[in-house]
């Protein structure tokens, strides 16, 4: 067989496959849309609460993840803060520490460390 005789048969094969390729592309598009719908059905709020309760991510990290998972979402930092506040009120996460409380904790820890070092030096 010459190359010329193979060319038409290859074209015919490609033409016979084109409808299948088109159908597959349509199926992939529909599947992607279904995945988006299922993800949205899960809900942004539930997703945010899940992130707060199961990770140590900052509000910014959670917001970025929400915006990535839920394209077109209008979620803001205020939304994330609202959910954290709600979870605090429900007792599901601990209350925030004030600067004074943190300062007192650090001071107590430093004092305990210094005391332990002094006792160690005196014992030697």
* pLDDT tens for each residue of 27-61: 888 877 776 666 556 789 999 999 999 988 999 99
**Rounded-to-integer distance, Cα 75 and Cα 63, Å:** 7
Q: Does pLDDT of 1 surpass 60?
A: no
- Crossing angle, helix 77-89 and helix 44-54, to 10 degrees? 60
- pLDDT for the residue 2: 52
pLDDT of residue 8: 60
- As a whole number of angstroms, the distance between CA 70 and CA 58 comes to 18
Determine the Cα–Cα distance for residues 122 and 115; give it in Å rounded to an integer.
11
Taking each helix axis as running N to C, give the angle between helix 3-42 and helix 44-54, from 0 to 180 degrees, rounded to the nearest 10. 80
Q: Give the pLDDT of residue 10.
A: 75
Helix (H) or strand (E) run with residue 52 in it: helix 44-54
Predicted structure pTM score: 0.49
pLDDT tens-place string over residues 58-114: 999 999 999 998 888 999 999 999 999 999 999 988 877 666 776 778 888 889 889
């Amino acid at each position: 067989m010459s190359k010329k005789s193979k060319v038409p048969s290859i074209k015919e094969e490609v033409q016979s496959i084109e409808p299948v390729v088109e159908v597959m592309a349509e199926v992939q598009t529909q599947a992607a849309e279904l995945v988006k719908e299922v993800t949205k059905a899960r809900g942004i709020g539930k997703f945010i609460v899940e992130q707060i309760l199961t990770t140590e991510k900052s509000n910014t990290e959670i917001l970025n993840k929400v915006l990535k998972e839920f394209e077109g979402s209008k979620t803001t930092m205020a939304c994330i803060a609202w959910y954290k506040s709600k979870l605090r009120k429900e007792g599901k996460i601990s209350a925030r520490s004030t600067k004074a409380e943190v300062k007192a904790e650090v001071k107590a820890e430093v004092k305990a460390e210094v005391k332990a070092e002094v006792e160690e030096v005196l014992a030697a």
